[in-house]
Amino acid sequence: MRIEDILAMEESQTFDRKSINIAPKDFSNHVCAFANADGGIIVVGVSDKNRRIEGVDHREKDVNELLRVPMDFCSPTVPFAHELVECVDAKGKPNHVLVFHIEASPFVHENQAHDVYMRVGDKSKLLSYDDRLTLTLDKGLRSFEDFLVPDSSYEDIEESYLKEYLSLIGYSKSPREYLLQNKNFAKEKEGELQLSVAAILLFGKKPQSFFPRARVRFIRYEGTEEKFGAEMNVIKDVTFEGRILEQIRQAVAYIQTQIKERTYLTSGGIFTTELEYPEFVRTELVVNAVTHRDYSIRGTEIQIKMFDDHLVVESPGNLPSQVKINKIRNSHFARNSHIAEYLKDYKYVKDFGEGVDRMCREMEAQGLPKPEYKQDSFILKAIIRNSGYVLKKVDFAPEKVDFNPKKSGFSSKKVDFGPQKLNFEKMVDASTYNITMKRHMKAMITEVGLQQVFGAKYVANSLKVSKTAAIGIIKKMFSLGVIKPVQGNGKGKYMLNQETSKDPNG
């Protein structure tokens, strides 16, 4: 690296400049921020305000203190490399600047005050409790089901329900002892128990008091697709709450009432009744969704959508990195291992993947297509199709788009969309996101126009942010309904969602 490069670079997600006068405790915030995000370079000895070259020669004590920061001021220690780059300082004398090379870390790093910072754009941001939790989960360091729930106590446990379970598994000690001694279900603080997420979801009196969207919603549609507004085609909408086992039992029983039966005369002269979908398949879809959903995503519930020719189960959460969509039939994982083990005691669940294989076999035995799985932003969709489904290439969720402009009619030229742009911006303004995020989203609305297809790389280049930041912007625009996914030559592509661009004020 040359001093010319250092002076030419803009501060960004992966690059920063700091004065040699920075205090070690302040410098630790930036070191942790880079390690917690995408890594990058921090140059010491150049003013971050006016790019004035100060240099670090003759500041040996300060240099040594800063070199100790990743080890002595960050927990856990942040691995780094460093180099001295030759320069001519502002006084015209030969000098050096100190360059830190920091790698992205698989761990969450905090400073001596136990604060966690993360690089967001060109700033090192102090994370809130919720953001810190999200970072911890994203790095796979802890399962959300193990987190203790503030303001929870033993009074929130339905003791009779817990005793029934303890009898089932042959546990002879008290319910209180079970929670304290098993699966991190509880910890004692100042003489009172504080419960984990899993304990409340499995044994709580009112789990939805703590997690309002930890529930299952069944929606029946008339026809083969979901419609909105004046054409809305919902004919049944039922929600199942309570503890996890109760949700499963209620949802499975209700779906049974909505299943069609087909009775026909076999070649042997015997009348046979065949269900629209095999019973095991219906049950397994519900169990998998409840067991493996990401309960840290609080904005939506599990949704079971039934159409005339297919059924969709939408479960919040991404597949773990080790599980691929095309290999899900033989993959095994449990996001919530304590919940999975509990349901296994009730003969509902095995490791994720064993049930998928049996679902495929049962669907094939009935002459039906195998279950399909699709990852759509934060939602994992499982789809099964009945005998009324015409076997042709259909993609019911993302819109099919040919990315060849000569074939598709799309062009790199942005289409003027007049008042619709204003309506998109109103949707952004009505959100609770911060000013910077709103500015980014509005900039992308203006940039892409109505028909341009874009992805994270396009956003990163347009806004001059990192790919990680670009993905975050896309996720937030999607959550507002401003954009929708498209599918074609490559995944992770989006376009503005014209269906939601009506004036939100009517």
pLDDT value for 506: 47
CATH of 400-500, one of 3.20.20.10, 3.40.50.620, 3.30.365.10, 1.10.10.10: 1.10.10.10
pLDDT value for 201: 98
* CB-based burial label for 383 (10 Å; 0-12, 13-18, 19+): buried
Contact at 8 Å (CB) between 318 and 380? yes
Say if residue 113's pLDDT is above 80.
yes
CATH of 216-394, one of 3.30.420.480, 3.30.1300.10, 2.170.130.10, 3.30.565.60: 3.30.565.60
The four Cα atoms 424, 429, 435, 436 give a dihedral, to 10 degrees, of -10
Binning pLDDT at 50, 70 and 90, where does residue 43 land?
very high
CA 167, 170, 176, 179 torsion: positive or negative?
A: negative
Binning pLDDT at 50, 70 and 90, where does residue 487 land?
low
Say if residue 397's pLDDT is above 60.
no
> pLDDT tens across 156-166, in order?
999 999 999 99
Question: Among residues of the chain, what percentage have pLDDT more than 70?
Answer: 87
Specify the DSSP class assigned to residue 496.
E
What is the rounded distance in angstroms from the CA atom of residue 179 to the CA atom of residue 114?
A: 29
Asked, colleague to colleague, whether 3-138 and 216-394 share their fold, the answer is no
Over range 383-391, report the average pLDDT. Answer: 75
Look at 46-50, 73-77, 417-421 and tell me which has the smallest mean pLDDT: 417-421
* CB-based burial label for 185 (10 Å; 0-12, 13-18, 19+): buried
Over range 232-260, report the average pLDDT. Answer: 96
Whole-number mean pLDDT of the chain? 86
Over range 268-290, report the average pLDDT. Answer: 88
pLDDT value for 52: 94
3-state secondary structure 384-452: EECCCCCCCCCCCCCEECCCCHHHHCCCCCCCCCHHHHHHHHHHHHCCCCCHHHHHHHHHHHHHHCCCC
pLDDT value for 287: 96
Over range 314-329, report the average pLDDT. Answer: 79
Binning pLDDT at 50, 70 and 90, where does residue 93 land?
very high
Say if residue 492's pLDDT is above 70.
yes
Q: Where are the domains of the chain?
A: 3-138, 145-210, 216-394, 400-500
What is the rounded distance in angstroms from the CA atom of residue 70 to the CA atom of residue 28?
A: 7
Say if residue 28's pLDDT is above 90.
yes
Say if residue 137's pLDDT is above 70.
yes
pLDDT higher at 96 or 451: 96
Binning pLDDT at 50, 70 and 90, where does residue 309 land?
very high
- Report pTM: 0.56
What is the CATH number that goes with domain 3-138?
Answer: 3.30.950.30
pLDDT value for 455: 86
Packed helices 467-480 and 435-448: angle between N→C axes, nearest 10 degrees: 80
> pLDDT tens across 343-359, in order?
999 999 765 557 889 99
> pLDDT tens across 455-480, in order?
888 888 888 877 888 888 998 898 88
Over range 38-57, report the average pLDDT. Answer: 92
Binning pLDDT at 50, 70 and 90, where does residue 4 land?
very high
Specify the DSSP class assigned to residue 258.
H
Contact at 8 Å (CB) between 214 and 301? yes
Look at 247-251, 291-295, 381-385, 495-499 and tell me which has the smallest mean pLDDT: 495-499
What is the rounded distance in angstroms from the CA atom of residue 340 to the CA atom of residue 244?
A: 11
